[in-house]
Structure 1
Amino acid sequence: MTTYYLSVQDMSKAKGPDPELSFEGIGPEKLAADIAEAMRSDSLFQRWRAKQPDPDEVDPSLGVTDASASAKGELSNDRNDVQLTTSLPMRIVKHRLNLLIGSSWQLRDTR
């Protein structure tokens, strides 16, 4: 298991490029819940995959999940912090985060 320490400076900009797949909440707790769900379930991946020009050509390994993934969010100083614990590799985490919140997140640390 790896713990990813993420931060989002401006929650109003925490939107993915596709509104139908994007995060639609307020606050770090809701963000953490949505991130954890995106890691535990392949729902976000399947919705994204269906929107691709040739869904059958999408690498199925991008749909891997971690049923035990967990995330905790909190407001810290001037940023929103999310601590994500998962067995998923960074390439999967990054893909799902980019779908949910675009490039508005920053990886601060891993353990």
Structure 2
Amino acid sequence: MPTRYYINLPDPARARGNDPDLAFRAQGAEAFAAELQDALRDDALFQRWRAKQDDPDDVDEALGATDAGATVAGKQEDLQIGLVVTTSLPSSVLRQRLGLLAGNGWQLRDVTSA
């Protein structure tokens, strides 16, 4: 069953993960939404992160789950960006991908069933 997550990027310029190779490159709400949507639909971000681990074979495969039907909409809200994520992925996978992309620069505002 899909879940809808309401995410806030309070300072989009600082919504960057610790590793520039994995972090958001986006500028603007639509670009942030597109990058996150790609990260949920495809395992390329997970595979790049996994390859950087000391023991890639020891990484939990469940973190590589994808949702081909995931959608992310972005909206500029004053100086902040609001993202609405609809996915059937577990919240742990969403949190891991957001951590890679945005570091600590995101906030979960609400969660509802889709």
TM-score by length of 1: 0.97
Instruction: Please report how far the alpha carbon of residue 78 of structure 1 lies from its aligned counterpart in structure 2 after TM superposition.
Output: 3.6
DSSP 3-state at the match of 1:26: coil
Q: Distance in 2 between matches of 1:78 and 1:48?
A: 30
Q: Distance in 1 between matches of 2:40 and 2:58?
A: 22
Partner in structure 1 of residue 30 of structure 2 = 29
Partner in structure 2 of residue 67 of structure 1 = 68
TM-score by length of 2: 0.95
Q: Distance in 2 between matches of 1:105 and 1:89?
A: 18
Partner in structure 1 of residue 45 of structure 2 = 44
Partner in structure 2 of residue 100 of structure 1 = 101
Instruction: Please report how far the alpha carbon of residue 8 of structure 1 lies from its aligned counterpart in structure 2 after TM superposition.
Output: 0.5
Q: Deviations over 1:10-47 (max 9, x none)?
A: 11101101011111110111000000110000000000
Q: Distance in 1 between matches of 2:108 and 2:71?
A: 16
Q: Percent identity?
A: 48
Letter in 2 for 1:4: Y
Verify: 1:110 aligned to 2:104, yes or no. no
Partner in structure 1 of residue 14 of structure 2 = 13
Instruction: Please report how far the alpha carbon of residue 76 of structure 1 lies from its aligned counterpart in structure 2 after TM superposition.
Output: 1.4
Letter in 2 for 1:8: L
Partner in structure 1 of residue 81 of structure 2 = 80
Moved >3 Å (runs of 4+): none
Instruction: Please report how far the alpha carbon of residue 70 of structure 1 lies from its aligned counterpart in structure 2 after TM superposition.
Output: 0.4
DSSP 3-state at the match of 2:75: strand
| CA RMSD between the two structures | 0.7
Gaps of 5+ in 2: none
Instruction: Please report how far the alpha carbon of residue 77 of structure 1 lies from its aligned counterpart in structure 2 after TM superposition.
Output: 3.1
